[in-house]
Amino acid sequence: MGTKRRWPEGTRQVIPVSEPDLGPAEFAAVTEAILAGQISSVSVDVRIFEERWATYCGRRHGVAVSNGTAALQLAVACLDLKPGDEIIMPTFTIMSCALAAAHCGAIPRLVDANPRSWCMDTGAIRNAIGPRTRAIMPVHIYGHPVDMDPILDVAEQHGLAVIEDAAAAHGAEYRSARGGVETWFRCGSFGSMSCFSFYANKLLTTGEGGMLVTDDDGLAQRARLLRKPGV
């Protein structure tokens, strides 16, 4: 078990959302990485993590980044949107979603949240689609998956990309009925790209850190280029 937080004298204490459980294994792994000089995005450990996390999510590619916000920005950047293009997203989510759109000159097109699930109201998406809509960004809230089937159906009908924000849904599963047979799929396996956060309060943490996962070879290659950064 990890040790309890010790606040420096005179500092303001806050109520933590959660505290990471860090112990000797984590200390040894970090020490080993430092001694080996593996402190960049091209280290062996990072590549192994990318591969294993992508496989866990049922994806072909993983691209590690500095945090979940960076993962969302990278996903939007990969779509090569034009200023004024729109991304549909829920009203109830972290501001990183809207910032990722604005960072690329896109406009967040907000739909309300379902009061029972707190996830985006999938019934409101169709009415939010306009001539400049290019993508939908569903956000799984507190480990509770969005109803993905209607979103994927609408996206296919209108030729829209789907950026799945699974930052708070590590290991969560959604029962999809697409294809006529109900099957459980892990969050992070849906749409064009999926984004994760490994912040300290997440079920799986690297302290900071995030990742984009995708099945698309072209998107993965572009994401790795932009991560460096590229053009």
Q: Which residues are catalytic?
A: 202
Q: Give the residues across from 135 on adjacent strands.
A: 87, 161
Distance of CA 62 to the CA centre of its chain: 11
Q: Give the residues across from 186 on adjacent strands.
A: 173
191: alpha, beta or left? (left if phi > 0; alpha if psi -120 to 50): left
Count other Cβ atoms within 10 Å, centred on residue 9.
5
Please measure the distance between the N-terminal and C-terminal CA atoms of the chain and give it in whole angstroms. Answer: 44
| Cα(162)–Cα(178) distance, integer angstroms | 16
Q: Give the residues across from 196 on adjacent strands.
A: 211
- The burial class, CB within 10 Å (0-12 / 13-18 / 19+), for 188 is buried
Helices (H) and strands (E) in the chain, counts: 7, 9
| Cα(57)–Cα(74) distance, integer angstroms | 19
C-alpha angle 123/193/111, rounded to 5°?
A: 25
